[in-house]
């Protein structure tokens, strides 16, 4: 989970409902006024992951739209268990069509993959810019297994309390200071009929995912990356177990005009590990692209390591 936690002084949020690709309700928090920035979280998260980043975008004169992806948070679950990358990508396209102008997309992990497919394959030109947060076509199989292991570990039994869930997160992210089962963590949980707490997402999201044993998904994502013509920003956690430096460089060969930011001291959960550095990179890039419509010719690649 990319957890940005709540800012000290939370802005006034406007709750907004969008219709997803299959008509399901997609819930969003909106703050600020200005050019829209669509924030798509990673698998197993909710829109709460973007709290601090959304505030910073608002303060920069932008409109931040943080959504709960289908099957996550308060958004509706898919009746048929449709949680393929294409389904999430189709939702982003549907949401974008309901906005007055095309947004900059910031997608973490799953949200980034959905954005890459939406822009690079399904409908080029749908976004004003694309920021991929610790995700590339080439991802480490061991890192994927680690994440899926955590997400699937408590599917059946759930948790007796938020503190028990906090213990599970602490074991999964030992490099982070342990947080108590606060109100913030409670928003990632749902109370079930048996009185137990379970993660606030449809279990079919994880149980329906099939491994990419043939490499077809990677090849498809590579092709999507080659077709990117809009401003692109890749943000990698310097200690990520999912995206290696080699994978980042492979992506930059596919999209040579992309800006690359490596956030030292952050793992896959970049926004949660080093939120200030992450948010600064996001805001700086989007503000720098705010006046541009799209990249017409490849620009010189800019690498921005953040210590």
How many angstroms separate the CA atoms of 175 and 118, rounded?
A: 34
How many angstroms separate the CA atoms of 147 and 70, rounded?
A: 19
Encode pLDDT of 14-47 as tens digits. 999 999 999 999 999 999 999 999 999 999 999 9
Encode pLDDT of 249-264 as tens digits. 999 999 999 999 999 9
Report the candidate in 236, 276, 275, 231 with the shortest Cα–Cα distance to residue 255: 231
DSSP 33-73: SSSEEEEE--TT--GGGGHHHHHHHHHTT-EEEEEPPTTBT
Q: How far is CA 156 from the centre of its chain?
A: 25
**Residue 276 or residue 179, greater confidence:** 276
Cα end-to-end span (Å), the chain: 22
pLDDT score at 183: 58
Lowest mean pLDDT among 9-23, 32-46, 167-181, 271-285: 167-181
How many angstroms separate the CA atoms of 97 and 99, rounded?
A: 6
Query: Residues 1, 45: contact at Cβ < 8 Å?
Result: yes
Q: Could you tell me the pTM of the whole model? A: 0.89
Q: How confident is the model at residue 297 (pLDDT cuts 50, 70, 90)?
A: very low
């Amino acid at each position: 989970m990319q957890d940005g936690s709540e800012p000290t002084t939370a802005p006034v949020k406007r709750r907004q409902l969008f219709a997803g690709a299959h008509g399901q309700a997609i819930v969003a928090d909106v703050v600020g006024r200005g050019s829209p920035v669509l924030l798509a979280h990673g698998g197993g998260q909710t829109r709460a992951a973007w709290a601090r980043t959304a505030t910073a975008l608002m303060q920069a004169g932008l409109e931040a739209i943080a959504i709960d992806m289908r099957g996550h948070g308060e958004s509706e679950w898919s009746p048929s268990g449709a949680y393929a990358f294409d389904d999430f990508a189709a939702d982003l396209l549907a949401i974008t069509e309901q906005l007055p102008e095309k947004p900059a997309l910031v997608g973490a992990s799953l949200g980034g993959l959905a954005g890459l497919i939406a822009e690079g394959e399904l409908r080029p030109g749908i976004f004003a810019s694309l920021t991929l947060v610790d995700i590339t076509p080439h991802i480490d199989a061991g890192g994927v297994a680690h994440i899926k292991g955590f997400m699937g570990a408590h599917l059946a039994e759930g948790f007796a309390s938020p503190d028990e869930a906090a213990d599970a997160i602490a074991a999964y992210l030992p490099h982070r200071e342990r947080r108590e089962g606060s109100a913030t963590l409670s928003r990632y949980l749902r109370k079930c009929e048996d009185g137990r707490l379970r993660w606030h997402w449809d279990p079919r999201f994880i149980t329906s995912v099939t491994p990419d044993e043939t490499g077809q998904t990677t090849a498809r994502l590579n092709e999507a990356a080659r077709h990117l013509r809009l401003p692109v920003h890749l943000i990698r956690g310097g200690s990520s177990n999912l995206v290696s430096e080699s994978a980042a460089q492979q992506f930059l060969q596919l999209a040579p005009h992309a800006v690359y930011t490596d956030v030292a001291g952050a793992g896959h959960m970049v926004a949660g590990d080093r939120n200030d550095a992450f948010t600064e990179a996001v805001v700086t890039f989007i503000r720098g692209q705010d006046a541009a419509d799209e990249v017409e010719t490849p620009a010189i690649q800019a690498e921005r390591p953040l210590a």
